[in-house]
A and B are shown apart, each in its own frame.
Chain A
């Protein structure tokens, strides 16, 4: 069955440290890939997306993600985390329907 897995339920990093959030998918072909962020009490906002081409994609708020076909992964990264990045992050995959991972909650320590 098609699935999206975010292995880390909760991650805590210090402000200024680097961040990597993991996402793995299980689909037959290369799907369309997205990362969304949800701040407390808010809806979801698109950070970035990958459809084809360059496997390293840049998004808003200084985030980037790298698509690795061999690992079926689409991990989200940020070189230096800010306190305002504390939120829940969702990886999503589209392949005729849209599926979201369970989310990773990010806590930022001062």
Chain B
């Protein structure tokens, strides 16, 4: 089954404790992206990747890192999480930037 998976689905952590949210797709998509969703703000792009080893900042990259060592994986790293990073995070992938994006189920992160 074609899908985008994210882990964990739910995470509660404390300020400053490094964490990684994994994202994997099995559709051989070149384009992958991370978004955060906050009430009243819709989805805002954090980082995106056009292909392996190619990443770029989106609208709200501060406090986040990503890597794209393999085509299928695009982990999101929070080196020192802060409470303002409490949000719902979505990973998405597509054949290219202008193709339909397939979204993962989301990761709800709470930073206390």
Number of cross-chain contacts by CB at 8 Å:
49
Contact B42 A102 (CB under 8 A): yes
A97 within 8 A of B: yes
Within 8 A of A (CB), among B19-74: 33, 35, 40-45, 48, 58-59
With A43-B103, A44-B103 given, is the CB distance from A103 to B42 under 8 Å?
yes
Q: How far is the CA of A103 from the CA of B92 in the complex (A)?
A: 18
With A43-B90, A44-B90, A99-B59 given, is the CB distance from A94 to B42 under 8 Å?
no
B31 (CB) vs chain A CBs: closest residue: A98
Q: Type the 1/0 row for A72-110, where 1 means its CB is closer than 8 Å to any CB of B.
A: 000000000000000000101010111111110000000
Q: Closest Cβ of chain A: how far from B59's Cβ, in Å?
A: 7
Q: Type the 1/0 row for B84-112, where 1 means its CB is closer than 8 Å to any CB of A.
A: 00000010100001101101111000000
Q: Closest Cβ of chain A: how far from B39's Cβ, in Å?
A: 9
Q: Closest Cβ of chain A: how far from B56's Cβ, in Å?
A: 9
Contact B48 A97 (CB under 8 A): yes
Among A94, A99, A101, point to the contact of B98 (Cβ < 8 A): A94
Q: Closest Cβ of chain B: how far from A42's Cβ, in Å?
A: 7
Q: Closest Cβ of chain A: how far from B25's Cβ, in Å?
A: 12
With A32-B98, A42-B105, A97-B48 given, is the CB distance from A102 to B90 under 8 Å?
no
Seen from chain A, the residues whose Cβ lies within 8 Å of a Cβ on chain B are 6, 9, 32, 34, 42-46, 49, 51, 90, 92, 94, 96-103
